[in-house]
Amino acid sequence: MDSIAIRSGNTLNGSIPISGAKNSALKLMAASILTDQPLRLTNMPRLADTRFLGQLLRQLGVEVTETGDADAQQTLFHAPEITSTFAPYDLVRQMRASFNVLGPLLARTGEARVSLPGGCTIGARPVDLHLMALKALGAEIELEEGYVEARAPGGLKGAEITFPFVSVGATEHALLAAVLAEGTTVLNNAAREPEIGDLARCLMAMGAKVEGIDTHTLTITGVASLGGAEWPVIADRIEMGTYAVAAAMTGGDVTLTGSRPELITALTAKMRACGVDVTETDDGVRVQRDPAVRLRAVDVTTEVYPGFATDLQAQFMALMTTAEGESRIHENIFENRFMHAPELMRLGAEIAVHGGEAVVTGVERLRGAPVMATDLRASVSLVIAGLVAEDETTIGRVYHLDRGFERLEEKLGRCGADIRRIKDEGHEH
């Protein structure tokens, strides 16, 4: 497996272009199943996860055509006919978001056989709310040998659905299914992450009728069919926040271009509180910090949007490892999401984990060491720490990084980071 080696000593200076959001692109890709007309997605990230889903869509009958250069990537999806309604385990297990083809397949064809997603290292993340929503829309669902067998012979019907707690995945899945359901569907206690708004607006561009976007109540009036559209994938707020933290970690002056600063206000408020200068620009956000002045420790609690994102918790913990004082980080979204803490401690960080809370006592400096990536966000926290850890840090199992960060070494390297990928030619991921 590939690894990444980083030598510290350089501040980051320059600009980093922000890619389209992985978490939006995956659901927009699933939306291509809903229409026999072409759906063109611009600002399209090229990631392991989008590649996996592209493979699955091709198997279902969707034509997937990638075009454009690194600065203007787009993908055309066209499913004139769904040739298979079967999503096998070997494809779905590689990425949970593949499960979201279930609703669109049901809505368009009236049937689907989709593997349950595999286990996840950051908690149970069951799909029971997804299935609850589809059953409410009239789907007949049976679980058989690890597969969801779903049928809606008379088509899906509108319904009022109240989620017992806010779930991004279940909200998106219900939305994808309801746009072709007969009648009106109301989703109460819906998640309102920006990626859901992006999906809803794209569906509207395809002809769907959705009201209440960016609120906790979505009202969907079903239509008989959807058409094609061209849609730009929203900027990736997690990539934006990650590079903002990296710039703050090393000190320096980095502008994140093509970004949407209003999507990470919870993070930037905390960064300002610990001594980082964050300003909006015409095309994004600028992050500056004097490396001679030590950061101040700040407490953080993860919450659903617009609160502090759980997907930025690991990165912020890395930032706090060298801050002056003690910071407390409360994780409220996923259990088992402090697996990066022991790896950061291998670099010299002082972290004590008690259940859903981590106490970080800032140290003067970190030391380079070999560390191991455990999941996507944890792996990039090790990159951030490695940017300031003395000597060299090597991060193993970086295929986790490739799932969510596009051209990471190139983007950091252009701003002065001493970072390189070490290829392991002998192993598959």
CB-neighbour burial class of residue 144 (10 A; exposed 0-12, middle 13-18, buried 19+): exposed
Predicted confidence (pLDDT) at residue 120 exceeds the cutoff of 50: no
Structure confidence at residue 118 (pLDDT)? 66
346 neighbors 385 (Cβ within 8 angstroms) = no
Query: Strand 357-361 to strand 140-144: parallel, antiparallel, or no bridges (unpaired)?
Result: unpaired
Could you tell me what percent of the chain has a pLDDT over 90? 88
Structure confidence at residue 221 (pLDDT)? 98
Residue 92 dihedral angles phi and psi, to the nearest 5°: -70, -35
Structure confidence at residue 426 (pLDDT)? 58
Structure confidence at residue 1 (pLDDT)? 82
18: tokens are 């922000």
Q: How far apart are CA 236 and CA 195, in angstroms?
A: 9
Q: How far apart are CA 335 and CA 126, in angstroms?
A: 13
94: confidence class by pLDDT, cuts 50, 70, 90 = confident
372: tokens are 């191991």
20 neighbors 235 (Cβ within 8 angstroms) = yes
Mean residue pLDDT of the chain comes to 94
Query: Strand 284-289 to strand 277-281: parallel, antiparallel, or no bridges (unpaired)?
Result: antiparallel
- Give the mean model confidence (pLDDT) for residues 208-236: 98
Binding residues for phosphoenolpyruvate: 22-23
pTM: 0.94
**Distance between first and last Cα of the chain:** 6
Structure confidence at residue 69 (pLDDT)? 81
For the stretch 299-343, pLDDT in tens is: 999 999 999 999 999 999 999 999 999 999 999 988 778 999 999
Q: Which residues are catalytic?
A: 120
Secondary structure of the chain: what % helix, strand, coil (to 5)? 35, 30, 40
For the stretch 27-67, pLDDT in tens is: 999 999 999 999 999 999 999 999 999 999 999 999 999 99
Following DSSP, what letter does each residue of 184-216 receive, concatenated?
EEEEET----HHHHHHHHHHHHTT-EEE-TTSS
- Give the mean model confidence (pLDDT) for residues 375-400: 93
CB-neighbour burial class of residue 183 (10 A; exposed 0-12, middle 13-18, buried 19+): middle
Structure confidence at residue 77 (pLDDT)? 98
Binding residues: 22-23, 96, 125-129, 311, 333
Predicted confidence (pLDDT) at residue 97 exceeds the cutoff of 90: no
Q: How far apart are CA 24 and CA 194, in angstroms?
A: 8
Quickly list H helices, 206-320.
237-250, 265-273, 313-320
What domains, with CATH codes, occur in the chain? 3-19+235-422 (3.65.10.10), 22-232 (3.65.10.10)
How many other C-beta atoms can be found within 10 angstroms of the C-beta atom of residue 37?
Answer: 17
Predicted confidence (pLDDT) at residue 121 exceeds the cutoff of 80: no
